């Protein structure tokens, strides 16, 4: 037994046959045009009662609708046909009806009216999201599967673009094999069939107000058509001289096209064999470009999308929205330079991006529309022509810029930054001094760089970094994020306060006879700690990884404006890596993440890494290549420093610390060499050994 679906036909007396409606934003209020339309009483989209007709067979092709025109009447043959009933065999009728009813309930819940919907067909409805805009057009296209089990929809209004899908049952599959959608046969049309006429004087005057001449209109075969007691503009689409399609515009700024015609660019013949072409968003812009001297211009036929699609490009045969590009591929592939002159609004920019994705950004240019009045820019080519003239429009095209490609730049894109660097207005171009005169000749702290610090255990690496950041805070007001996993918070606070206040925290052995910091100094010191340092700590027993640290450091940069990050040490982080990744590859990837963070946020990073176990060590400073894990520690860092403490009384003072600068990538900030510092065990301070020697000599 066959299940027969009866189809619903909506008869709108004012709806032209074989036409698709679209929306636009442009205005249409010219006095001459109003005069041309003065005899009209009915708008194109006059609301009429809906008449539902249940049919078991197609309406006869001989049925006709009268078409009234200005001055004469004729019989107009309707192209409207109702498809034959769809027969679904071997389906459970009750189940089909049940899931179709459930699907309709779901659609009704989100505002989609399903009263006239039929499985296996597309239905044009009023979009519940945008309500069809000012013109209340039925821009929502809804498709329901043959078995009534699922539906997809999309709103074709440029400012909306709402789309989605749903199923009667979650995870349900169609009851029958999905039938392939029939391939529509392309119609062949003629001016006689469409009843096209030359433009009347009022329409010629309307275009003249937009600075588009009669000669340009005639060359582009812009015509008119009479429909329902009104005249509409007809933009004819030709290829090789033959009429391919036709797009109409009425007094209410409504656009529609002939259906079942091949989608091509408007003005396609004008780019035949051209190596440089211009693509605009509307037919009026194409005509405006010609007035500025550019005939090698085409317009897209279907307007702009609401936004750039986040999905990958679909295959050519599935790229329905931009099928006109593939239909015109022979003309497009000859062009080595394509200027995208789409509208300046968000949909226009989205259209430019979608076109560039398909055409290849490497051969695309884009335009910047000039200012119209005050701080308002012109929206499109026709506005430039009307408000600024053809010469201004010509300059816009001549000054088109390369379409940006993600990751590919010119130095010109950075000229402002380079100028600021030259004039030293960025700040800290030469680096921030360390606070030790003899070390400043070798190492200065530059924002956005990575410094690797190493040394054998108990050499004073962490103490030296703490002293350095205290100096930077005092000299430049920098604040810091501290991920110091070997320090308890209270002990780290003691070390920083001692260096800042220059007094011991406790009255204890290490303090010798130096007076302990007072309660008042301690209270002021706590405020200093809180204002200038932010802690990154993992409160549970798990090990943090580098990404976790950098995410929190980013928050500290954005929230507190920190200029430096200390990660101390490397071996306290979680370094789980994929089984197929070597330690060398892992370290390289990790250091790349840290460097990108530093550069992007202008934040200097100090990363402490211990050397591997040194066999037959005789007490000399280790090398950066001795760091445990990988040679990438020295290969990828901007600065490499070894901190080494003297352990031999015969070699010099026991409080003497060597700061060995082993690598400086930026010669502006320093050079390779060594500096001696003296460590004050009481306060944790470091002093330049040269200053100490000079003081002793003066005594």
Residue 66 in any domain: the answer is no
Single residue among 357, 378, 402 that ends a domain in this structure: 402
Residue 607 in any domain: the answer is yes
pLDDT digits (tens, 9 = 90+) for 177-226: 333 444 567 889 999 999 999 999 999 999 999 999 999 999 999 999 98
Are the C-beta atoms of residues 438 and 674 closer than 8 Å to each other?
A: no
**Tokens for 374?**
């005050």
- State yes or no: pLDDT of 389 exceeds 90: yes
Q: Give yes or no: residues 528 and 620 share one domain.
A: yes
Q: Give yes or no: residues 132 and 98 share one domain.
A: yes
Give the closest residue to 471 by CA, choosing from 504, 520, 432.
432
Tally the domains of the chain: 3
Question: What is the C-alpha separation between 100 and 410, in angstroms, rounded?
Answer: 57
Q: What is the CATH number of the domain that holds 447?
A: 3.40.50.300
**pLDDT on residue 515:** 93
Residue 310 in any domain: the answer is yes
Q: Give yes or no: residues 632 and 515 share one domain.
A: yes
Q: Give yes or no: residues 563 and 688 share one domain.
A: yes
Residue 177 in any domain: the answer is no
Q: Give yes or no: residues 449 and 537 share one domain.
A: yes
If you write DSSP's letter for every residue of 227-242 in order, what string do you get?
ETTEEEEEEEEEETTE
Single residue among 167, 182, 203 that ends a domain in this structure: 167
Q: Give yes or no: residues 673 and 537 share one domain.
A: yes
Residue 496 in any domain: the answer is yes
| pLDDT > 70 in the chain, percent | 83
What average pLDDT does range 131-142 have in this prediction?
80
- State yes or no: pLDDT of 67 exceeds 60: no
Are the C-beta atoms of residues 456 and 622 closer than 8 Å to each other?
A: yes
Domain encompassing residue 130: 93-167
What average pLDDT does range 527-533 have in this prediction?
97
Q: Give yes or no: residues 208 and 140 share one domain.
A: no
- The least confident of 44-48, 376-380, 605-609 is 44-48
Q: Give yes or no: residues 363 and 458 share one domain.
A: no
- State yes or no: pLDDT of 497 exceeds 70: yes
**pLDDT on residue 650:** 77
pLDDT digits (tens, 9 = 90+) for 184-194: 678 899 999 99
Residue 683 in any domain: the answer is yes
Residue 420 in any domain: the answer is no
**pLDDT on residue 184:** 60
Q: Give yes or no: residues 136 and 250 share one domain.
A: no
Q: Give yes or no: residues 133 and 220 share one domain.
A: no
**pLDDT on residue 7:** 37
**Tokens for 686?**
């470091």
For residue 26, the tally of other CB atoms under 10 A from its CB is 15
pLDDT digits (tens, 9 = 90+) for 22-34: 444 444 444 444 4
Task: Check residues 377 and 68 and name the one with the higher pLDDT.
Answer: 377
**pLDDT on residue 147:** 80
Residue 545 in any domain: the answer is yes
**Confidence label for 106 from pLDDT (cuts 50, 70 and 90):** confident
**pLDDT on residue 286:** 97
Element (H, E) at 164: strand 163-167
pLDDT digits (tens, 9 = 90+) for 548-576: 999 999 999 999 999 999 999 888 888 88
Q: Can you give the pTM of this predicted structure?
A: 0.57
């Amino acid at each position: 037994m066959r299940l027969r679906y009866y189809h619903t036909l909506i008869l709108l007396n004012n709806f032209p046959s074989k036409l698709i409606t679209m929306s636009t934003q442009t205005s249409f209020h010219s006095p001459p045009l109003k005069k041309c339309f003065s005899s009209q009483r009915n708008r194109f989209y006059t609301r009429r009662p809906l008449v539902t007709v249940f049919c078991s067979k197609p309406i006869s092709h001989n049925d006709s609708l009268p078409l009234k025109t200005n001055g004469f009447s004729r019989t107009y043959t309707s192209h409207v046909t109702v498809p034959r009933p769809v027969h679904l065999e071997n389906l459970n009728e009750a189940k089909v009806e049940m899931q179709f009813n459930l699907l309709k309930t779901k659609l009704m819940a989100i505002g989609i009216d399903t009263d006239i919907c039929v499985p296996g067909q597309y239905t044009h409805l009023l979009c519940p999201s945008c309500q069809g805009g000012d013109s209340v057009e039925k821009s929502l296209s809804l498709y329901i599967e043959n078995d009534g089990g699922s539906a997809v929809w999309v709103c074709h209004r440029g400012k909306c673009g709402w789309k989605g899908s749903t199923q009667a049952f979650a995870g349900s599959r169609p009851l029958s094999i999905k039938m392939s959608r029939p391939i529509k046969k392309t119609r062949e049309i003629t001016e006689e069939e469409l009843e096209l006429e030359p433009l009347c004087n009022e329409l010629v005057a309307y275009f003249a107000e937009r600075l588009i001449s009669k000669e340009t209109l005639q060359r582009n075969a812009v015509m008119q058509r009479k429909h329902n007691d009104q005249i509409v503009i007809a933009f004819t689409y030709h290829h090789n001289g033959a009429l391919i399609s036709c797009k109409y515009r009425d007094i209410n700024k409504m656009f529609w096209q002939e259906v079942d015609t091949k989608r091509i660019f408007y003005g396609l013949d004008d780019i035949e064999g051209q190596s440089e072409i211009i693509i605009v968003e509307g037919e009026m812009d194409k005509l405006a470009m010609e007035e500025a001297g550019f005939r090698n211009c085409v317009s897209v036929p279907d307007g702009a999308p609401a936004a750039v699609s986040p999905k990958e490009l679909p295959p050519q045969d599935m790229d329905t929205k931009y099928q006109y590009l593939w239909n015109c591929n022979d003309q497009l592939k000859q062009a080595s330079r394509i200027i995208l002159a789409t509208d300046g609004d968000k949909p226009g920019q989205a259209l430019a991006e979608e076109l560039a994705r398909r055409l290849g950004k490497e051969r695309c240019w884009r335009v910047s529309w000039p200012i119209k009045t005050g701080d308002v820019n012109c929206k499109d080519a026709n506005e430039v022509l009307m408000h600024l003239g053809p010469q201004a429009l010509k300059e816009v095209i001549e000054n088109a810029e390369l379409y940006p490609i993600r990751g590919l730049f010119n130095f010109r894109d950075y000229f402002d930054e380079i100028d600021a660097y030259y004039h030293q207005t960025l700040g800290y171009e030469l680096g921030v001094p360390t606070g030790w005169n003899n070390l400043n000749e070798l190492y200065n702290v530059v924002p956005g760089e990575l410094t690797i610090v190493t040394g054998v255990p108990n050499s004073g690496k962490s103490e030296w970094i703490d002293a350095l950041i205290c100096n930077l805070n005092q000299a430049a007001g920098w604040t810091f994020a501290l991920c110091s996993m070997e320090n308890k918070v209270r002990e780290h606070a003691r070390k920083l306060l001692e260096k800042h206040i220059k007094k011991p925290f406790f009255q204890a052995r290490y303090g010798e006879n130096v007076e302990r910091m007072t309660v008042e100094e301690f209270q002021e010191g706590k405020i200093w700690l809180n204002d200038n340092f932010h802690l990154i700590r993992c409160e549970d027993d798990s090990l943090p990884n580098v990404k976790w640290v950098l995410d929190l450091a980013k928050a500290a940069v954005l929230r507190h404006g920190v200029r430096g990050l200390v990660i101390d040490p490397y071996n306290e982080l979680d370094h789980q890596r994929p089984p197929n990744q070597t330690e060398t590859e892992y370290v390289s990837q990790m250091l790349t993440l840290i460097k990108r963070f530093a550069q992007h946020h202008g934040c200097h990073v100090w990363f402490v890494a211990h050397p591997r176990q040194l066999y037959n060590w005789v007490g000399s400073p280790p090398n950066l290549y001795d760091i445990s894990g990988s040679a990438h520690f020295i290969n990828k860092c901007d600065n490499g420093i070894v901190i080494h403490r003297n352990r031999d009384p015969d070699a010099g003072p026991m409080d003497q610390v060597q700061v060995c600068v082993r690598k400086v990538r930026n010669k502006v900030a320093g050079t390779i060499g060594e500096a001696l510092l003296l460590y004050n065990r009481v306060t944790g301070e470091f002093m330049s050994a040269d200053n100490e020697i000079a003081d002793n000599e003066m005594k």
